[in-house]
Amino acid sequence: MSTSFNTSTYSQLLVEFQPKVITTEEEYDRALETVEKLMAFKERSPEQTEILKLLVTLIEEFENKHYPIEPASPHAILKHLMEARRIKQSDLVGIIGSKGVVSEVINEKRAISKEQAKALGEFFHVSPALFI
């Protein structure tokens, strides 16, 4: 059974929610509240789903502009992977170098070389590019 899109219902929802480009924190908060309200519906109509997608797009645009996420440094990625997988510095000895080299890399006193990036990529099963 296919549910058809009702433009009249969608128009009513547009009037109710009045989605627009978000420019202030107040508008952002209001949009988030509306998204939460729509997400709570167990059975959203196709029209409600379209409004939801529109609001999420507007929220993402605002967040990307006002709360940009800086790319993580290779050292931060290494530290995160170590923490997430409960890897200790001593576990990397022999993989990227001696105890001293591992310590220097972890403490950001030494850059991660291409060879080390390749070894870390193999060890963590990720792209070596994360460490370059």
Taking the C-alpha atoms of residue 39 and residue 56, their distance in angstroms, rounded to an integer, is 11
Nearest to 132 by CA among 110, 106, 114: 114
- 42: exposed, middle or buried (C-beta count within 10 Å: 0-12, 13-18, 19+)? exposed
CATH architecture of 74-131: Orthogonal Bundle (1.10)
101-110 per-position pLDDT tens digit: 999 999 999 9
| Boundaries of every domain in the chain | 7-66, 74-131
What's 72's DSSP letter?
P
pLDDT score, position 3 = 65
- 50: exposed, middle or buried (C-beta count within 10 Å: 0-12, 13-18, 19+)? middle
Taking the C-alpha atoms of residue 67 and residue 107, their distance in angstroms, rounded to an integer, is 28
- Give the bridge partners for 97, in sequence order: 93
pLDDT category of residue 118 using cuts at 50, 70 and 90: very high
Task: Provide the mean pLDDT of the chain.
Answer: 93
Q: Determine the straight-line distance between the first and last CA of the chain, rounded to whole angstroms.
A: 51
29-81 per-position pLDDT tens digit: 999 999 999 999 989 999 999 999 999 999 999 999 999 988 899 999 999 99
